[in-house]
Structure 1
Amino acid sequence: MTRRRGQPSLWFRDDGGGRRPRLTRERIVEAAVELLDSEGVEGFSMRRLAARLRAGTMSLYSYVETREDVLDLALDAVMGEIALEDEDDVDWRAALTRRIEQSRQVMHRHVWITTLIGTRPLIGPASLARSDRFYATLARAGLPPLELNAAVNTLFAYVHGFVAAENVWRSTVTDPEHEAELRRQVRRHVLAHADRYPALAREADMTDGDADGGFRRGLDIILDGIEARLAA
């Protein structure tokens, strides 16, 4: 079952949640996260979810209306793994860095997140609470509304894009030695054709496989830009 055109989002409906004692919405969501972790979005179905819960497929629809509802609930549940800490006395840059690095860790644990984020708004209670804290941190730093929105969108796009590419690469190249050799091959190829790719041959370090360091350096560049806007 798919969401009908014009049907309101799960988060805008008051449908009362679960009713039967054997199953609960919480159990369904927990099993959905486990199924998504093992099978991904492509392998997720209400039939497989019901089998994991040892229940009939139709019994799930007493607690959720559609498959899309379950995906919305599962996504919001894992967004809740990003800690909500009181950071009023913490430097805005340190607070954002900590939260962004936690977001990356959650996306590593649940690689399907990057697929779902691109298909639905993050408007569940856990997601909105974390977005609210993110906005509050940048507002406290002093960014005006338009620049604040741009900064949030840029940081979100950076984290989502970096981790999505990272997860695909990890699923394709699983052996560190194989990855190192691939990087060396690319480097040799570029150097052998330096007349075609002079900037790459001169500037690019293609043997650098430090994803953690690369992520942090890229994040620092964006935060440096925000800091420069604040200083201006």
Structure 2
Amino acid sequence: MSIWFREEEPARKPRLTRERIVAAAVGLLDAEGLAGFSMRALAARVGAGTMSLYEYVRTREDVLDLALDEVFGEIDLPGPESLPWRELLARQLARSRAVMRRHPWVPGLTATRPLAGPNALARAELFHAELARAGLSGPALSAAVGALSFYVSGFTAAENTWWALVRTPEADADIRAGLQRHLERTAHTTLATSADVENQDFDGQFALGLDVILDGIEARL
């Protein structure tokens, strides 16, 4: 059962703290990714025995839930200024992408556990409230939130994977140029002329794709 759905036992007098463990978990995930994350490695990072961690969390999955929600807290919520729903959500999604670029393990985790921590819920509430005020409700509202969430996590996951393998803009340009030459030698004329495979502007691609989704949402209002 997720940590967010359980009643927590009273905290013991700490030798460590849960906050320190979570901060170390985020650092370990940033350095090693999910594949390199273990309670033993986490204990070594905080200078404690592995079993001592279980005085503060019950399971490895608890630590992952807490680390993920900690990182959601880095996605700044809007200030007091009043913005149109579309501009506000576009800004929030750009902030989400920036956080997922800093923490490449985040997109993969978001699909595997309930996002029910306080930071995740505050940001989900913002999206639902803005789109509800814009005029959506019921399944259409849920579908719109899902489309936006899946777009940012999917785009950024692909972006993170690409740069982890390719590493430099120069290598990226070489691959794109090679793909363009290959397409021009095939019978796929639409791809060769319209796929824009040599476009290296990830920021622009993200913003344009987001505009397309927001156009579709706005058309339903």
Does TM, normalized by the shorter one, top 0.5?
yes
Deviation at 1:145, TM superposition (A): 2.1
User: What is the CA distance between 1:89 and its match in structure 2?
Assistant: 2.2
| Local SS of the residue matching 2:101 | helix
Secondary structure of 1:97's counterpart equals helix
Task: Work out whether residues 68 and 106 of structure 2, in 8 Å CA contact, stay in contact via their aligned partners in 1.
Answer: yes
Bigger drift between 216-225 and 82-91 goes to 82-91
What is the RMSD of the two structures over their aligned residues, measured on CA atoms? Answer: 1.3
User: Please, which of 59, 63, 76 is the counterpart of residue 56 of structure 2?
Assistant: 63
Counterpart Cα distance in 1 of 2:10 and 2:76: 25
Query: Relative to structure 1, is the Cα distance of residues 17 and 47 closer, same or farther in structure 2, using a 3 angstrom cutoff?
Result: farther
How high is the sequence identity, in percent, across the aligned residues? 57
Aligned match of 1:202: 193
Counterpart of 1:4 in structure 2 is none
* Residue matched to 1:159: 152
1: distance between equivalents of 2:170 and 2:29?
29
Unaligned stretches of 5+ residues in structure 1:
1-7
- The answer on whether the counterparts of 1:37 and 1:111 sit within 8 Å (CA) in structure 2 is yes
Equivalent residue, structure 2, for 1:183 = 176
In the alignment, does 2:40 pair up with 1:47? Answer: yes
CA deviation string 1:202-227 (max 9, x = no partner): 21211101100000000000101111
Mapping for residues 1-150 of structure 1, pairs under 5 Å? 8-16=1-9, 18-86=11-79, 89-150=82-143
**In structure 2, C-alpha distance between the alignment counterparts of 1:175 and 1:56, rounded to whole Å:** 39
Structure 2 residue runs without a partner (length 5+): none
Aligned residue pairs: how many?
Answer: 221
| SS at structure 1 position matched to 2:210 | helix
| Contact 2:2–2:114, Cα closer than 8 Å, also in 1 | no
- Maintained 8 Å contact 1:87/1:95: no
TM-score, L = length of structure 1: 0.92
1:171 counterpart (156, 160, 164): 164
Q: Distance in 1 between matches of 2:156 and 2:117?
A: 22
Query: Shift in Å at residue 17 of structure 1?
Result: 6.0
Tell me the distance in 2 between the aligned counterparts of 1:84 and 1:179.
Answer: 33
